[in-house]
Amino acid sequence: MLRNWITIWSVILFLVMHMGGCTSVGTKTEKAARERLFLKDLCGKNNITWEWDSVSQVVTLSLKGVRAKALVGSDVVLIGEEKVLLSAPLKTVKSSIVVSGDFQEKVIDKILNQSLEKADYFVKRVETILIDAGHGGKDPGTIGVRGGRQEKEVVLDIAKRLRNVLEAHGFKVNMTRDKDEFISLKERTEIACRSKVDLFISVHANSNPVRSVNGLEVYSLKDLNYVEKEDAERRENHQILFQKMAMKRNARDVEGILEDMLYTNKQSESRILAEYVAKETTKMIGSRNRGIKESHFFVLRNTLIPAVLVEVGFMSNPREERLLRKSLYRQKIANGLARSIMAYANRKN
């Protein structure tokens, strides 16, 4: 009898607790969904900078390098790469943005926490680097103006030197090739995806019909709407890595816009990396900085990691070709590239 009572009471207690749990969770979510807070008040209280692009309806919140993006009309917020789901979409009321009650806990608190961890995060964020020596095997790349030296040999040597310097500084390094072999674009992409790298750098040497043209060029990823310009020479030289692509924004749905926002973050990372590579490497080798160019970059587009392609010098320029034949100069290039990567990895914002 007593045992029966205990059983019955257990069942009742369980039901009460269970229902109570459901009710309280339901109420909390519903309350959060009903509650309306002004974004500008929340941000102001927490010293978070915010911007609202009234054309794209994208709202950007930032604090010490931590960025969150939201979209008016959507309940999804991207904090870095993490997707957070709010109990209700962002809305505008009399040209002010209002957010649901759980915005503080789900977004603001996360931004505050991440900004505190930021210093560590930046030091640790680049652990593994994938170095891609351009061309190889049946594809020699460009040929030196005088000595007949091939691009594939020069860039492989620089890539190996770069690997040694980076490994000496504690980075893990993978290479798409470490000998004279042909690797297709598809294979390079697969290597980039498979090896879970944090950063991708492709090493090439340049060529121009005008022999006086010289200096170092860095490529980073171009905007989605970009259609790569017709450039027969470049196409010929770099068909391994570049692919002519006409990407249009067809689906303007929320998912598409969120994808774009994530993509834009990566794109700006590549741009920052490219700036470090151009600045630090030209300083190290005393060569002309021809600046950052932008292009579609097949590997980069598919892996969404910060990625650059560097043209270390012109093999069509007699002076640079002579320099590229010297091992000391190639070592300097490798040192400059390594220094750029470390400066990028250790930057504070």
Residues that bind Zn ion (CB under 5 A): 134, 141, 204, 237-238
Report the nearest approach of Zn ion to the CB of residue 287 (Å): 17
In the bound complex, which residue of the shown chain has the CB atom lying closest to Zn ion? 204
Comparing CB distances to Zn ion, the nearer of 78 and 240 is 240
The minimum distance between CB 48 and Zn ion, in angstroms, equals 44
Q: How far is the CB of 267 from Zn ion (least distance, A)?
A: 22
Minimum CB separation of residue 142 from Zn ion in Å reads: 6
Min. distance of Cβ 303 from Zn ion in angstroms? Answer: 19
* Shorter beta-carbon distance to Zn ion: residue 100 or 150: 150
Residue 115 or 237: the one with the smaller Cβ distance to Zn ion is 237
Whichever of 238 and 266 has its CB closer to Zn ion, that residue is 238
* Nearer to Zn ion among residue 76 and residue 310 (C-beta): 310
Q: How far is the CB of 71 from Zn ion (least distance, A)?
A: 40
Q: What is the 3-state secondary structure (H, E, C) of the chain?
A: CHHHHHHHHHHHHHHHHHHHHHHHHHHHHHHHHHCEEEHHHHHHHCCCEEEEECCCCEEEEEECCEEEEEEECCCEEEECCEEEECCCCEEEECCEEEEECCHHHHHHHHHHHHHHHHHHHHHHCCCEEEEEECCECCECCCECCCCCCEHHHHHHHHHHHHHHHHHHCCCEEEECCCCCCCCCHHHHHHHHHHCCCCEEEEEEEECCCCCCCCCEEEEEECCCCCECCCCHHHHHHCCCCCCCCECCCCCCCHHHHHHHHHHHHHHHHHHHHHHHHHHHHHHHHCCCEEEEEEECCHHHHHHCCCEEEEEEEECCCHHHHHHHCCHHHHHHHHHHHHHHHHHHHCCCC
Residue 204 or 266 having the CB closest to Zn ion: 204
